[in-house]
Amino acid sequence: MSQISLTFPDGNARAYPAGVTAAEVAASIAPSLAKNAISASLDGRHIDLQWPIMASGKIAINTMKDSEPALELIRHDLAHIMARAVQELWPDVKVTIGPVRDYGWFYDFDRAEPFTPEDLGAIEARMKQIIAARDPVRTELWDRARALAYYEDRGEPFKVELVNRIPEGEDLRMYWHGDWQDLCRGPHLQHTGQVPADAFKLTHVAGAYWLGDASRPMLQRIYGVAFRNRDDLKAHLTMLEEAAKRDHRKLGREMELFHFQEEAPGMVFWHPNGWSIYRELEAYMRRRLIRADYKEIKTPQVVDRILWEKSGHWEAYRENMFIVEVDEEGAKEKRVNALKPMNCPCHVQVYNQGLKSYRDLPLRLAEFGSCHRYEPSGAMHGLMRVRGFVQDDAHIFCTENQIEAECAGFIGLLSSVYKDLGFEKFDIKLSTRPEVRVGSDEIWDKAEAALKGAIEHLGLPYEVNPGDGAFYGPKLDFKLTDAIGREWQCGTFQCDFNLPQRLEAEYVGEDGAKHMPVMLHRAVLGSFERFIGILIENYSGKLPLWLAPRQVVVASIVSGADDYVHRVVAALREAGLRAEADTRNEKINYKVREHSVGKVPVIMAVGLKEVEERSVSVRRLDRQGSESLGLDQAIQALVAEATPPDLR
């Protein structure tokens, strides 16, 4: 039997017969490792302990202490255990697919009756019985004919379709958890008892079309979450409860910010309060861009398909574009246009007007660009995922030698903006060249080195995502962390050597010859809609005073103070504050409660005493008690607090 060499993380290598399993490798090192092993990593690929290893490589044995592989296996095994539990409880249910997802998994089922909350409890109980049984997990490779016959005999039409979708010549891997079997790539744990029985929970049921196709059957999708231990599960469930309280859709209704309706799916109807937040955020970003030497432009929303064909978006992005057909007078055919899904091709058109010199670079063109992208109805989620949105978009045209400096400048701008908006922490991921790409290796070397150099020059930590760059260049993605620990990917910085070439962008260099500029795509917030949703949830609706749509409500305690209330409101507005009067014939406690639900940060209560003293009783949102201040003093303090952070 031929020999292979396996190299361990410490650099030592051992010879093994070809076909050795990772379980056997673990046993050859130490009995304790064999007992604790759950899987292995072979040349960076996650593999099952049962799979034969046929070639030399670098290997690491994983245990439950290795968080990433452990969570993948726990969640993947639980998907199978849940499907087994469902079919044991209701044998007529048909199974489909059950992938791992963020924090857990889901599995889609074809069942005539809807699953109920009581059903989820029964499924959880059966899952714990399966885990306690410590049933062995085994795997085999089957050919297509055997797999098809197996699923046809058992009346599993969805599995039959999945088998038929697998390319010819590719082996099919089968897994058994006890006597229950599923088609799966793996890897998996070695027995059901390795799953922590107290660290998972089924959360909810939703509808899902088979393979995401609205013309196919509607299935029932059961979601679950799972972790390595009970404490991690408890912390996650607590976070979910807090997230539900902060849901921007709920707060949007309470604060009267926006709404959606069927006549314009995925398009936001901004109410005065919500539009106030939008305008303040836009004004803030405009000031920051002006100081960073960006030139603001505005480009059309409807553009002929010819431009999208030239840019490559028509071929790559057509299914996500809204098409506009126009009957041009005298034309034999309709003219086909599209609502722009992104701004970059139009920005190149602005750049191309007039001959550019190397002295004009870098040229930073910014646009609060209105874009439209088709999102499936099931994918839309409040402000977080919409069909119509505005990006704080910009494109920097520069030379190759200017990439690093522009990247450093952008990171400085982004970190300052995030801090102003209340986000102290963000992570950076550098995505490098994918297998399918344009441009020479020499250009990719320069671009990747420039991005890497800019991050390191600023002393910022980052992770590398090998092969995850755009086809036209490497990119940086920026993930900010909110008040309850959730991560949101918002900012991005991308190097593009492709679009300038496709759209014939040029500049005259020092040598008098024409050269192609590098195009840097960048955004700080991403879309205004999504970022406002993130802000609402981060602050639980209690926005900083400068962003709050209703900054001050002046409420009368008795009707004799009504005239003074209006004078106070006028003085606040004169000072530039957003203020309103509440002189309704209601008790002051009722008014305070109502405006607190609406997340008004400052409520001024005014009675006869305040009229006489020309003062106000200031109540702060979520603070006990109130503070009596002279009117001028109160206005001065609020004006200072309501000044945007970049103007202080």
- At residue 313, the pLDDT reads 87
| Residue-wise burial string across 296-321, b where 16 or more C-beta atoms lie within 10 A, e elsewhere | ebebebebebebbeebbbbeebeeeb
Burial of residue 44 (CB within 10 Å: 0-12, 13-18, 19+) is: exposed
Residues 6+ apart with CB under 8 A from 273: 255, 256, 257, 549, 550
Q: Are strands 552-556 and 323-326 parallel, antiparallel or unpaired?
A: unpaired
Q: Across residues 438-466, what is the average pLDDT?
A: 88
* DSSP helix/strand/coil, 448: helix
Q: Which of 173, 395, 446, 530 is catalytic?
A: 395
> Residue 489 and residue 480: Cα distance in Å, rounded?
6
- For residues 480 and 490, the answer to whether their CB atoms sit within 8 Å is yes
Predicted confidence band of residue 30 (pLDDT cuts 50, 70, 90):
very high
> In this predicted model, what pLDDT tens digit does every residue of 36-63 receive, in sequence order?
999 999 998 999 999 999 999 999 999 9
Residue at 570: amino acid letter: A
Q: Which of 48, 119, 393, 582 is catalytic?
A: 393
Q: Which of 372, 373, 437, 522 is catalytic?
A: 373
Q: Which of 184, 344, 346, 495 is catalytic?
A: 344
Predicted confidence band of residue 331 (pLDDT cuts 50, 70, 90):
low
Total count of residues recorded for the chain: 648
395 is catalytic: yes
Distances (CA, A) of 217 to 160, 191, 208, 221, 252: 15, 34, 9, 12, 34
Residue with tokens 């059950």: 98
Nearest to 487 by CA among 538, 528, 443: 538
138 is catalytic: no
110 is catalytic: no
Q: Which of 391, 402, 494, 551 is catalytic?
A: 391
pLDDT exceeds cutoff 60 at 1: no
Residue with tokens 């209105």: 370
- At residue 558, the pLDDT reads 96
- What is the signed CA dihedral for 222, 228, 230, 231, rounded to 10 degrees? -120
The helix or strand, by DSSP H or E, that contains position 324, with its residue range, turns out to be strand 323-326
Q: Which of 475, 530, 550, 578 is catalytic?
A: 475
pLDDT exceeds cutoff 60 at 84: yes
Predicted confidence band of residue 614 (pLDDT cuts 50, 70, 90):
very high
Q: Which of 188, 313, 372, 521 is catalytic?
A: 521
Q: Across residues 279-302, what is the average pLDDT?
A: 97
Q: Across residues 307-328, what is the average pLDDT?
A: 87
Residue 316: both structure tokens together? 């790559």
Residues 6+ apart with CB under 8 A from 32: none
> Residue 360 and residue 95: Cα distance in Å, rounded?
61
Nearest to 603 by CA among 626, 585, 587, 584: 626
- At residue 330, the pLDDT reads 64
184 is catalytic: no
271 is catalytic: no
Distances (CA, A) of 120 to 45, 124, 184, 204: 34, 6, 24, 8
CA atoms within 13 A of residue 609's CA, in its CB half-sphere: 7
Long-range contacts of 213-216 (CB under 8 A, 24+ apart): 214/376
Looking at 426-558, list the stretches that DSSP marks H as alpha helix, in order from N- to C-terminal side: 441-457, 499-502, 528-538
344 is catalytic: yes
58 is catalytic: no
